[in-house]
Amino acid sequence: MTVRVLVADDQEIVRTGLTIILNTRPGIEVVGGAGDGRQAVELARRLRPDVCLFDIRMPVMDGIEATRALAGPTVPEPLAVVVITTFDLDEYVYAALRAGARGFLLKEAGPDLLSQAVHAAAIGDALIAPSVTTRLLKAFADADPGTPRQQPIEALTDREEQVLVAVARGRTNQEIAEELYITLSTVKSHVTSLMTKLGVRNRVEVAMWAYETNRSRRHW
């Protein structure tokens, strides 16, 4: 299946570069481009791409607002949004994750990582894999925990706690399966259960919950 991508960046040369890179990767097709956040939201609602790749800093409407409009808590059918930025410790990136983004990339990411991120976002898998992402989540959780996270609606099992820690550390489903000696389908079931119990919508939010409740520091 081809992953349909919408690219939004206010710099035409960056937008063009990302489009060229993505269109040369197997199973990816860029279906639209936008130079500001408002145009990106309008195009996304019309085209319904599988993945939206948004710059953080855009005119008219920035990447955070655009992300919230397409993937926020009140959106009934949220789209998969990945934000892309020049800075690896940028409070706006964390805000974008809060707004519903599944993850982020640095603009210096190579073609392989960009392609992997797009494919991962399309299936709801780990966009938290790059070490910079886990570092950013930990930094902001430590610096500003914000509103205390609600407790699970049902107690987590020991295995779910193990999977939770692994997700927070940036492990993919396949890596978790190998580390815990369980099947890939079992990992997916545990991740789905975690999202239900924690009241979150994707694995990035699972990781954020783990960091903000200090679960990520547990060792098994």
Residue with more model confidence, 15 or 127: 15
What is the distance between the alpha carbons of residues 37 and 81, in angstroms, rounded to a whole number? Answer: 12
- Per-residue pLDDT, 138: 64
| Residue 36 pLDDT | 96
> What is the rounded average pLDDT for all residues in the chain?
85
Q: Kindly state the percentage of the chain with pLDDT values over 70.
A: 83
- 131 and 169, same domain (yes or no): no
Q: Based on the structure, what is the number of domains in the chain?
A: 2
Residue 32 has pLDDT above 90, yes or no: yes
Q: Is the model's pLDDT at 212 over the cut of 60? A: yes
Domain end call among 109, 139, 169: 139
Q: How do residues 38-92 score in pLDDT, each as one tens digit?
A: 999 999 999 999 999 999 889 999 999 999 999 988 898 999 999 888 766 557 7
Per-residue model confidence as pLDDT tens digits over 132-181:
556 666 665 665 555 556 778 888 999 999 999 998 887 878 889 999 99
Amino acid identity, position 27 = G
Q: Are residues 94 and 121 in the same domain?
A: yes
23 and 46 fall within a common domain:
yes
Tell me which residue range forms the domain holding 183. 146-217
Judgement on whether residues 114 and 192 belong to the same structural domain of the protein: no
CATH code assigned at 170: 1.10.10.10
For residue 114, the domain's CATH number is 3.40.50.2300
106 and 160, same domain (yes or no): no
